[in-house]
Structure 1
Amino acid sequence: MRRRLTFIACSFAVALVLAAGVALAADAPQPGQWEIASKTERSGVVKTRPLRTTCMTPEKARDFGARLQRDLITATGTCKSIEPRKTDTGMSWSIQCAPEMPLRATASYAFDGPQHYVATVKSETSFAGKTMASTLTVEGRRIGECPK
């Protein structure tokens, strides 16, 4: 039961970080107001979160990738980012957790320009002989300037 709760807590923490509009890319996104859509699929059930907006300041845009990796490590506690790989349009990496939490996860992000990205986090854990898998998909698009 503890492992299942830990898996759910880690998945939720990752979702919160991503839904807040923090993403990772090889190039920084354009600062401004961003609309974030996200959905989670677990055991064939899809849950869509309400659209939200966030202001991406120039500082946040410059520190985009490093910020997400720091936030994920903090949110997941005993987990760490490993094997980061830059691509032409984004980045991907694996998440490795302590042995007492057998969570395996991969994350990837791709921008098709400085105003739009799609991100995916896939995680899997085993509990009581059953494998539980979850996929989080986040899409962000710039919708204008930040409110003053």
Structure 2
Amino acid sequence: MRLFLLPAAVAVSMIAVAAGAQTAIQAGEWETTEKTEMEGMQPMQPSSKKVCLAADEAQLERLLFPTPDEIKQHGCKYEPGAKKAGVLAATLTCPPNDQTPGVTAKAEITYTQTSYQGVGELVAADKSGTTVKGKSALSGKRLGDCPK
């Protein structure tokens, strides 16, 4: 996904996969929404997508994050937050490279079996030290069974 051209919500969306946290949710068709604001930039349009989760992939992480391999490939470091029932919290730090800035993203997502919502904070810094801060609102809901 995602982090690598830095749509900001993307970075926030990367947060928990590397930990291997598996947060069970109901299989089926889900609609996810991201709303992101970055300091000094024009407002971004909210983005929404529908995702069909099979029973064997019905985890919150599948909706929010790229694969652990993608995170590892970019040299990112994952730190889980405090464990609380119904809350997924984590921080992801990725170093800058020639194409993309470094990113520190913190997120806290509250979830049930059929919905989630949360916030993320993002700081992006390029190799010259220029930083940009941002915030994201993340949400999703189960719509029903996957279309056939």
Q: Which amino acid aligns with 2:83?
A: K
1:93 to partner: Cα distance: 1.0
Change (3 A) 1:72 1:12: farther
Q: Tell me, which stretches of 5 or more residues in structure 1 are unaligned?
A: 1-7
Cα drift, residue 126 of structure 1: 3.6
Structure 1 residues 103 and 52: CA distance shift in structure 2, 3 A: closer
Once the two structures are TM-superposed, the CA of residue 71 in structure 1 deviates from its matched residue by: 2.2
Match of 1:56 in 2: 53
Distance 2:64 2:34 in 1: 16
Question: For residue 10 of structure 2, what is the aligned residue in structure 1?
Answer: 15
Percent same amino acid among aligned pairs?
24
User: What does residue 77 of structure 1 align with?
Assistant: 74
- The CA RMSD measured in Å over matched residues stands at 3.6
Whichever residue aligns with residue 105 of structure 2, its letter is A
- Unaligned ranges ≥5, structure 2: none
Q: Who is 2:116 aligned against?
A: 117
Which structure shows the higher helix fraction?
1
Tell me how far 1:16 sits from its aligned partner.
8.4
Q: What residue is the counterpart of 1:107 in the other structure? A: 107
Match of 1:3 in 2: none
Aligned AA (1:122): E
SS at match of 1:53: strand
Instruction: Count residues with an aligned counterpart.
Output: 136
- Structure 1 CA distance, aligned partners of 2:120 and 2:69? 14
| Cα deviation, residue 131, structure 1 | 2.8
CA gap 1:10/1:80 in 2 versus in 1, 3 angstroms: farther
Q: 3-state SS of the aligned residue for 1:95?
A: strand
* CA positional deviation for 1:51: 2.7
Shift of 1:69: 6.2
1:67-102: CA deviation from partner (whole Å, max 9, x where unpaired)? 966626615712121134321112111112337665
> Normalising by the residue count of structure 2, what TM-score does the alignment of the two structures yield?
0.69
Moved more, 97-106 or 79-88: 97-106
User: In 2 relative to 1, CA 73–81 (structure 1 residues): closer, same or farther, beyond 3 Å?
Assistant: farther
